[in-house]
A and B are shown apart, each in its own frame.
Chain A
Amino acid sequence: MGNRASGLHVRIRQVAPIPIDADLRCGPGEVLALVGPSGSGKSTILRCIAGLHAPADGRITCGSEVWFDGEAGVRRSAGMRRVGLVFQSYALFPHLTALDNVREGMDDPDAASARGAARALLARVNLSGLEHRLPRQLSAGQQQRVAMARALARDPAVLLLDEPFSAVDRVTREKLYGELAGLRRDLNMPVILVTHDLDEAVMLADAMTLVSHGRTLQYGTPLEVMHRPVSAEVARLVGLRNVFAGSILAHDRQRGSTFVAWEGHRLEVALRDRIPIGTRVSWAVPSSGVLLMARDRPAGPLDNLIEARVGRLVHLGDQVRVVAWVDNEVSRPMSLAVPRHLAERYALAEGASLRLRLRGDAIHLMPGE
């Protein structure tokens, strides 16, 4: 068991069978969410870390151990890496009891102490009393816990979770989130959680890496990545709908603002004076930064007023999702969410004209596409 202090470092490059260009790191005790849409290669990256797939090139180290090195020709087998992996389908051994499933995860499953240790692990994941059940006699949530216990049985150097909550209903999922959070306190190993659910990442992870088409695009805390995406592509991946192209007009240091030109508008945003004037930029504003503006109210600082016409309305519970055409141009759709009572007050209907207020401090600038 090597020194685990410096955590997991991953670099993977390959072209086939799936193109991957990924860089990751995760420290001991840290939970890193690996987030991306289906088919983005996150599972493949996880399998490379686990040792189930050897990438064409790259380097994977954990602590002082080198698990994979494309140049030096090092490739440690999955068993030798001591990873704990919870598969999306759990992959429990269907003919073994929960207890035996966990036992097989240990270094010496036939040792006299193995049964007791397995029992203790099952107790830790709240499955006491179910040791002698077969997987098909357990619910999905219970199977997931057995898979977790089995992954932990070996005191792994790294814990890998491949969309472990996707096959479970919402209520159970909430429960499992709580249990994972509880387990976390005792785990002092890097934990990588693959998920396509951003909310899950926000809830469970310390850091997040966004993956798309095999490329790792951004690393940071989940909130950072969601609110300060580094590119328009990331912005769209984290769910920002209002992404547009503009250019830098001017900086006003005294005012603390930068001015961005967009389709004839002059938008005032928080100062970013390092960007040269004239640079083409992408800018994004979350739906929460787009507000209805009463005609009689005066505009505040960093308020950008825009005229628009309601294009589409979708009632979703107590919210109304609105897509408005800015300047009545269908090519400039702006998404916003309006509480129902407000929508009623303003008598929002398709085709109605609107005045929108874009909050300049919510506008985020990124390099131009």
Chain B
Amino acid sequence: MDWPALLLSLELAGATIAVLLPAGIWLGRALAWRQFRGKALVESLLALPLILPPTVLGFYLLVAMGGASGLGRAYSAMTGRTLTFSFEGLLVASVVFNVPFAVQPIQRAFEAVAPEVREAALVCGMSRWRLLRRIEIPLAWPGILSAAVLMFAHTLGEFGVVLMVGGNIPGETRTIAIAIYDRVQAFDTGAAGVMSAILLFVSLGAITLSYLTASRFGGLRRG
């Protein structure tokens, strides 16, 4: 059982959610309420990581962040570390491949809020901030929670991109998914089995939580 790997995975998931959830709320809300030319293209781009093979994504991330890239060199100059093979690089990759999970459920949730309810809030004189805080987010809450849960589970399980961008550096980029792969290659099926079981239960718990909250809040919006 590789506890540091599990901890690393949890840190990566947590950091991804912390960075991406506010962005997801902002983007999801903007896409739900606005119509503009090229909206379909924007939505497609945001959904791209869902269908792109992880190795393709990993390849382009390496090109963008690797030692030879402008970004990679600038980062090395600033911090003395490489962006690839580091936790920060993994976080960048994680944020990129989690974008669809951050945006889509939240966008659907905001779309489900009746436009007249928003208008009523505006007529009541609510500031945009209060409208968001008191009306829109509470009503879109199931979608936001869903997004967080999906991002959590997806980050914990992501393998191909993590391996390509992060390598298998213990304590830095060896996530629990990589650790399982590592243990299988080392003929250590015991450890691999324990870690896989943990991931299985965590994922199951996450998805159950997502469904439970959706059903609990689902009836509220129809009221």
Contact = CB atoms under 8 A, between A and B. Distances in A.
Interface of A: 50-52, 77-80, 82-85, 87, 89, 91-95, 104-105, 107, 134-137, 150, 153-154
Dominant SS at the A interface? Answer: loop
A94 B112 CA distance: 12
Given A91-B114, A94-B221, A94-B223, A154 B125 contact: yes
B222 A94 contact: yes
Contacts of A79: 122-127
Contacts, number: 70
A50 B220 contact: no
Nearest to A87: B116
Contact of B120 (A93, A107, A136, A137): A93
Given A93-B135, A95-B220, A51 B123 contact: yes
A136 B222 contact: yes
Main secondary structure of the interface of B (DSSP, over half): helix
Interface string B120-157: 11111111000000110011000000000000000000
Nearest to A85: B123
B138 A95 contact: yes
Residue picked from B126, B219, B222, most chain A C-beta under 10 Å: B126
Max chain A C-beta neighbours (<10 A), residue from B120, B127, B220, B222: B120
B200 interface: no
Contacts of B221: 94-95
B119 A91 contact: yes
Contacts of B219: 136
A75 to B, nearest CB: 13
Given A87-B116, A87-B120, A136-B222, A82 B139 contact: no
Contacts of A85: 120, 123
Interface of B: 114, 116-117, 119-127, 134-135, 138-139, 219-223
A89 B138 contact: no
Contact of B117 (A50, A82, A94, A134): A94
14 contacts: A51-B123, A78-B119, A78-B122, A79-B122, A80-B125, A84-B123, A85-B120, A87-B119, A91-B120, A93-B120, A95-B138, A95-B220, A105-B125, A136-B220
B19 to A, nearest CB: 28
A287 to B, nearest CB: 39
Contacts of B117: 91-94
Contacts of B134: 104
Listed from nearest, the 9 A-B pairs whose CB atoms lie closest are A136-B223, A79-B125, A91-B116, A91-B120, A94-B223, A78-B122, A105-B124, A85-B123, A78-B123
Contacts of A95: 138-139, 220-221, 223
Contact of B139 (A52, A80, A94): A94
A150 B127 CA distance: 17
Scoring A105, A134, A154 by chain B CB atoms within 10 A of each residue's CB, the highest score goes to A105
Most buried by B among A89, A104, A105: A104
Contacts of B123: 50-52, 78-79, 83-85
Nearest to B117: A91
Contact of B121 (A93, A94, A107): A93
B138 to A, nearest CB: 5
Contacts of A87: 116, 119-120
Contacts of B125: 78-80, 82, 105, 107, 154
A82 B126 CA distance: 11
Q: Most chain-A Cβ atoms within 10 A of its Cβ — which of B125, B126, B134?
A: B125
Contacts of A135: 223
A50 B222 CA distance: 25
Given A89-B114, A91-B117, A94-B117, A134 B124 contact: no
